[in-house]
Amino acid sequence: MSDKRAIGVFDSGLGGLTVVKELFKALPNEDIVYFGDTGRVPYGTRSVETIKKYARQDEQFLISRDVKLIIAACGTVSSVAADTANDLPVPFFEVVSHAAKAAVGATKNGKIAVIGTNATVKSRQHEKVILSLMPNAQVLNQSCTLFVPLVEEGWYSADDVVVLETVSRYLKPVFEFGADTLILGCTHYPILSEAISKILGDEVTLINAGTATAQAVREYLEGNGLANTSSKPNHSFYVSDKPDSFVKQASVLLGCEIDGNNVQKVDINNL
């Protein structure tokens, strides 16, 4: 038994592509429908009510594409708006719990740092999961407000002075805390991994929520006989702003070319 319907993935912009990249590795036969809400990025500075409104719209768009499950490839939505998925007719995966579990498994000194958007950090959702699994853990939460705009502008090279200075300033508390494990609590942040490691050092383990989430999705699909056995997957990308800039950056982030004909603009407010 198999299910040839696509996996639905949404994020506020480009960041969710880091999850898609991991899905490509873990589930190479699966069709993927991706929605990047590029017209309303970032979500992390919005009110909880607005984030939930956006999440519901994103979820309903993916449902309209007949997906078999939905991944909120957004740390902000996963932290403060995961309950919007309670009434969905398909399984829902968020990225927070999987990242937290991976961090607990990786840490050696029990000091785990979490970086994310304002909304993610304020929710302390990663910390709650970490402490439920490791009560003696020490957790530092650090907001990195400018990381998403940097990535969306295409500024993420570890050789860029502006990138390194920005990363260094935000991560100073993490360095002083002595964390040996760092959760990249926004799916945009893995794109800055090289710069982050350059500042913190290779001895600090970076937790990419996309890797852990993709593995969880694979286990679910294979365990329930829902994996797609087709060898020629189709991937569709939708955005709420100009497709052109998305195509260029997405190809870089995914490590493969995206056909511009597979990227369409949708009016998320009028569906």
Residues noted as catalytic: 74, 186
Task: Look up tokens 């995206």; give the residue.
Answer: 258
236 C-beta neighbours (distance < 10 Å), count: 14
Contact 156, 191 (CB under 8 A): yes
Task: Give one DSSP letter per residue of 198-226, joined into a string.
Answer: HHH-TTSEEEEHHHHHHHHHHHHHHHTT-
Give the C-alpha separation, 230 to 228, whole Å: 6
Length of the chain in terms of residues written: 271
Of 66, 107, 57, 11, give the one whose Cα is nearest residue 271. Answer: 57
